[in-house]
């Protein structure tokens, strides 16, 4: 039986989201959330009834049309038109796990009672989530400032009984689903369209999804890096705790600690070395990987604040008896964090590729390109090319999106964050990193075989042994694309406890 997570005012965090997704939990509103939504909706409609002054987006047009007053009988049509007109997404389909996160985060934001939506609207979003009926959303179209307008419009279309949805691997018209479940389309009331479309849930969902992957890949970069350290017969002295306590950046200290744990009891590690020093890509793993950890923690903190915030506009403050039009939909905090995170994750790929390069160079008693009979066999020559190509692409993708801004809505929206573009390219960087680490693992495990009979640590030997079940030692040339794909799948399926992932 599926467990249920109750939406409430309690803070969401990445470990909670990870558990919800991994256990495929259902969502439900807490009594507190139901009360908040009802009170806000009732207050708004009493306000409209008793006060005829213009309130942005409630009885006015939107954007640069904010001074156009809308008649009371047209308020529902105004919100419906908003959703339809803003559904202008293009590009690739948003991945389904991210759509689920968008639904969850939109429900969370509306549950605080500052948005004025009907309870029925939020309950239908819950139906979509729990029945795994996912709106078809495209990854281009948001400027990351007036909220993620285009993506969130596509998220909202099925509420009206229109647009398309994913059912498993198929795309079907929402009308079919509405008929199947006997659902009446939602008739949007005052402000509801704006509450659904204003918000940062596209950026936030991408960001939290990327952060979940980033925590895991940061751990795996350390583990694969440790495997390469023994494969290249490196000195252990650069990982001594004394070195890092005199420059105690949190991530650096943690990385050195992990490398020592991973390589504890390694025969190769304690053996006498011919080389006094190792290349930076090995020796400086704590400093480089550690700086990325600190960046992940910064982004984690930013996104934790965001996913527990109200980001639509205007906001309804019942106790103060006021409705305020502000700018909480502006994605600048996320845009900067996503750019910083993208740069940091690209650096993990950068240093990983350098270790791969060293491993295939015929140094430290290893055969050229890690294969017997080099010349007849090209061995691991070309996977390094592939990694280099990907790293180069990551450098291009790491160019910040947040430094750009393009005026929209006739000058009313004259500064935008471009955080949505930052979000989509950050995911591409992290997916690329996954492949680069897979290639390093292929090389490190192959190189480690040439250290026999000496062994690495029990932990690394176990890790490499599991990997060998999907990618065996290469005696002679074979199609290595198959091995790369298998190595990526191995990394994706590798399970790490949340306590380990988030415990630093």
Could you tell me which residues come within 8 angstroms of residue 138 by beta carbon, excluding any fewer than 6 positions away?
A: 89, 90, 91, 92, 93, 94, 150, 151, 154
CB 280 within 8 A of CB 322: no
**Residue among 6, 43, 56, 138 flagged as catalytic:** 56
Residue 195 CA to residue 155 CA, distance in Å, equals 12
**C-alpha dihedral (77, 80, 86, 89), degrees to nearest 10:** -150
Name 90's bridge partners: 140
Residue 338 CA to residue 289 CA, distance in Å, equals 18
Could you tell me which residues come within 8 angstroms of residue 405 by beta carbon, excluding any fewer than 6 positions away?
A: 415, 416, 417, 418
DSSP string, 182-202: TPPPP---TTHHHHHHSS-HH
Tokens 């992990």 locate to 258
Please confirm, yes or no, whether 56 is among the known catalytic residues: yes
Among 449, 367, 424, which Cα is nearest to 138's? 424
Tokens 């000058």 locate to 411
C-alpha distances in Å from residue 26, one per residue of 21, 35, 59: 9, 20, 36
C-alpha distances in Å from residue 80, one per residue of 228, 291, 428: 57, 47, 34
Among 114, 28, 143, which Cα is nearest to 311's? 114
Residue 168 CA to residue 132 CA, distance in Å, equals 8
Among 142, 110, 136, which Cα is nearest to 27's? 110
**Number of CB atoms found within 10 A of residue 82's CB:** 24
Could you tell me which residues come within 8 angstroms of residue 157 by beta carbon, excluding any fewer than 6 positions away?
A: 83, 84, 87, 135, 163, 174
C-alpha distances in Å from residue 415, one per residue of 276, 348, 410: 54, 32, 12
Burial, 501: exposed, middle or buried (Cβ in 10 Å; 0-12, 13-18, 19+)?
A: middle
Residue 65 CA to residue 309 CA, distance in Å, equals 27
CB 204 within 8 A of CB 334: yes
CB 13 within 8 A of CB 304: yes
Q: Which two tokens stand for residue 3?
A: 């467990």
Catalytic sites, residue numbers: 56
């Amino acid at each position: 039986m599926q467990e249920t997570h109750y939406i409430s005012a309690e803070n969401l965090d990445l470990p909670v989201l990870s558990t919800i997704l991994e256990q495929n939990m259902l969502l439900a509103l807490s009594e507190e959330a139901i009360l908040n939504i009802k009170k806000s909706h009732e207050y708004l409609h009493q306000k409209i009834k008793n006060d005829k002054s213009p309130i942005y987006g409630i009885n006015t047009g939107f954007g640069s049309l904010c001074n156009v007053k809308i008649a009371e009988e047209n308020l529902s049509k105004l919100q419906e038109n908003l959703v339809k007109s803003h559904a202008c997404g293009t590009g690739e389909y948003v991945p389904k796990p991210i759509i689920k996160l968008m639904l969850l985060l939109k429900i969370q934001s509306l549950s605080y009672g500052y948005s004025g939506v009907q309870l029925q609207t939020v309950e239908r979003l819950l139906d979509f989530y729990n029945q795994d009926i996912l709106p078809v959303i495209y990854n281009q179209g948001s400027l990351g400032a007036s909220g993620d307008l285009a993506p969130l419009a596509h998220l909202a279309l099925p509420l009206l009984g229109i647009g398309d949805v994913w059912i498993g691997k198929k795309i079907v018209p929402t009308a079919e689903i509405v008929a199947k479940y006997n659902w009446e389309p939602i008739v949007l009331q005052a402000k509801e369209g704006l509450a659904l479309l204003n918000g940062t849930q596209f950026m936030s969902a991408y960001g939290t999804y990327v952060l979940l992957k980033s925590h895991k890949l940061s751990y795996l970069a350390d583990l694969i890096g440790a495997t390469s350290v023994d494969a290249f017969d490196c000195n252990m002295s650069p990982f001594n705790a004394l070195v890092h306590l005199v420059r105690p950046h949190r991530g650096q200290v943690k990385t050195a600690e992990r490398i020592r744990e991973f390589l504890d009891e390694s025969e190769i590690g304690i053996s006498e070395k011919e080389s006094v020093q190792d290349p930076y890509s090995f020796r400086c793993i704590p400093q480089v990987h550690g700086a990325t950890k600190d960046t992940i923690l910064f982004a984690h903190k930013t996104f934790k604040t965001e996913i527990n915030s109200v980001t639509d506009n205007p906001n309804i403050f019942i106790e103060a008896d006021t409705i305020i039009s502000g700018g909480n939909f502006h994605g600048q905090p996320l845009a900067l964090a996503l750019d910083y995170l993208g740069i940091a994750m690209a650096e993990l790929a950068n240093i990983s590729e350098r270790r791969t390069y060293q491993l295939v160079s015929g140094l430290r008693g290893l055969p050229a390109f890690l294969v017997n009979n080099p010349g007849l066999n090209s061995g691991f020559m070309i996977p390094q090319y592939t990694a280099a190509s990907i790293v180069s692409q990551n450098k291009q993708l790491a160019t910040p999106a947040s430094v750009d801004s393009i005026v929209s809505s006739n000058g009313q929206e004259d500064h935008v964050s471009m955080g949505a573009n930052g979000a989509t390219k950050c995911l591409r960087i992290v997916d690329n990193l996954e492949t680069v680490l897979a290639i390093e693992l292929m090389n490190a495990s192959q190189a480690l075989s040439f250290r026999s009979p000496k062994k690495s640590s029990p932990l690394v030997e176990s890790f490499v042994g599991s990997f060998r079940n999907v990618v065996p030692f290469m005696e002679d040339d074979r199609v290595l694309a198959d091995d790369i794909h298998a190595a990526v799948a191995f990394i994706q399926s590798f399970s790490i406890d949340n306590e380990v992932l988030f415990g630093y």
